[in-house]
């Protein structure tokens, strides 16, 4: 038969519980640790777009001008190819959404490009 241990008396703590109570830090030390940041501040949102692989403002303006000229030539395939390559590198959500709509609808109308560029400027 297996022997059973008698339960500890209420005024006596179990040996393993007493050891864990001794290892717990006091509240002042815990509060001090909580006040310090866990890691340094991240400045990723403030970095230049080009550093993250996105198009700079100048590159985006050049892309829009190139797309407008391609639209005037009526080459929908070239527009789609250029947009598919450029979209992952467009950081601005508003510009990305507008270009995505143009890609999805295959707009090759120069007036639509002029209107888009006017709204983005």
Query: What is residue 78's predicted lDDT score, i.e. its pLDDT?
Result: 87
Flag whether 13 is in a domain.
no
Question: Is residue 99 in some structural domain?
Answer: yes
Q: How many domains does the chain have?
A: 1
**45 is a domain residue:** no
Establish if 35 belongs to a structural domain.
no
Rg of the chain over CA atoms, in angstroms? 32
Taking the CA of residue 40 as centre, how many other CA atoms within 13 Å lie in the half-sphere pointing to its CB? 3
Has residue 85 got a pLDDT over 70? yes
User: Burial of 67 by CB count in 10 Å (0-12 exposed, 13-18 middle, 19+ buried)?
Assistant: buried
CB 76 within 8 A of CB 106: yes
* pLDDT tens per residue, range 12-32: 555 555 555 555 556 666 666
The answer to whether residue 25 sits within a structural domain is no
Give the structural domain span for 95. Answer: 53-120
**Is the model's pLDDT at 89 over the cut of 90?**
yes
């Amino acid at each position: 038969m297996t022997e059973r241990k008698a339960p500890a008396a209420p005024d006596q703590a179990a040996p393993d519980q007493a050891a864990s109570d001794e290892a717990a830090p006091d509240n002042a030390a815990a509060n001090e640790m909580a006040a310090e940041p866990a890691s340094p501040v991240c400045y990723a949102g403030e970095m230049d777009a080009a550093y993250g692989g996105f198009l700079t403002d100048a590159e985006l303006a050049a892309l829009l001008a190139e797309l407008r000229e391609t639209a005037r030539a009526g080459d929908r395939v070239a527009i789609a190819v250029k947009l598919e390559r450029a979209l992952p590198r467009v950081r601005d959500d508003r510009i990305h959404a507008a270009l995505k709509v143009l890609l999805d609808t295959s707009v090759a109308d120069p007036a639509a490009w002029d209107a888009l560029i006017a709204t983005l400027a």
